[in-house]
Structure 1
C-alpha cells in the first residue's frame, strides 16, 4: 500500500525537485556571472584592466545584435532568423535544437567600469564586448620615498 503512495526512489525525486527549484532561482537575479542559462551562451571574465564578455552567436548578422550599457548593466539583444529548410508540407521535424527568434542576455558589471570605454567586435560567430575599468581603480605601484 505504501509503495503506491511514494515514488520508487524518493531521494531521486527530492534531488530532482531541488534542482528545479535552484534553476528557478538562478534565472531570477543577474550578476557578473549573468543568468544561469540561455541563448546565447556567455563567457564572462575580467583582467586587472577590463571586463570581457564573449557571446557565442554563430549565424547571426552583426547588424541584428544590439549592445547596451546602462548603469553598470550590460544588455545583449538581438534576433536570430529561423533556419530555412524544405517547406513542402511533407517534411516532419523530429528534433529541432537550433534556437531562433528574439534573445536577450543581461550581465551586471562591477562598479569600477568606465562606461565611456566600451568596445564590441563580432568575428567568426563570437561577439566580444570589452569594458575597460576606470584608471583610478587600476592597481598601481606606489614608490616609497
Structure 2
C-alpha cells in the first residue's frame, strides 16, 4: 500500500505532463494530412482527366497583390495580406488572422503542363487550373 503514496497530488502531475506533451507537439500536424497552423494560404488539391485543380483559400487579399509562378515543376503562390484595424478603439486580446507577406510552393505532378495555367480569384478563393500534357490524358484505342 505504501507504493501508492506520492509526495504530490497525482492529478497535478498528470496535468503537468499533459501540458508538457501539448507544448512539445504543438507545432506538429495532428495527422499526416493535416497542415501546419502557420501555413498560408491553405489549399485543396485535386485532379480531373484533363487538369490539376488547386484552390487556395485567401480571403481578404487584393488579387493585384497575388503572384503566381511556375518553375521547374513548382507552382509558387506569393503575396501580401494587409492588416485590417478593428473598428473600435479597444485592445485586441487574440489575433488569429494571418497578416504580412507569404509564399507557398506546391510541387506539381509530372503530367502537369506548365504552359497551360489559368487562374481566377473570386469570393476569397484563388482557383488555379493546370492542364495535363496530351500524352498523359486517357484515350481510347481502336481495336482492329
Q: Same fold judged by TM-score > 0.5?
A: yes
Cα deviation for residue 85 of structure 1 reads 3.1
1:1-145 aligned within 5 A: 7-8=13-14, 16=22, 19-20=25-26, 22-23=28-29, 36-37=35-36, 38-85=39-86, 91-145=90-144
Q: Displacement, 1:127?
A: 0.5
* RMSD between superposed Cα atoms in Å: 3.2
Structure 2 distance, partners of 1:14, 1:83, is 35
Task: Quote the residue 1:30 is aligned against.
Answer: none
Give unpaired runs (5+ residues) of structure 2.
1-5
TM-score (norm 1): 0.76
C-alpha separation in 2, matches of 1:54 and 1:72: 18
Task: Evaluate the alpha carbon distance shift between residue 92 and residue 13 of structure 1 in structure 2; reply closer, same or farther with a 3 A threshold.
Answer: closer
SS of the residue 2:98 aligns to: coil
Distance 1:53 1:8, change over 3 A: same
* Greater RCO structure (CA 8 Å; 6+ sep): 1
Counterparts in 2 of 1:91 and 1:115: CA distance versus 1, 3 Å: same
Report the secondary structure of 2:14's partner residue: coil
> Which segments of 5 or more consecutive residues in structure 1 lack a partner in the other structure?
27-32
Larger radius of gyration between Structure 1 and Structure 2: 2
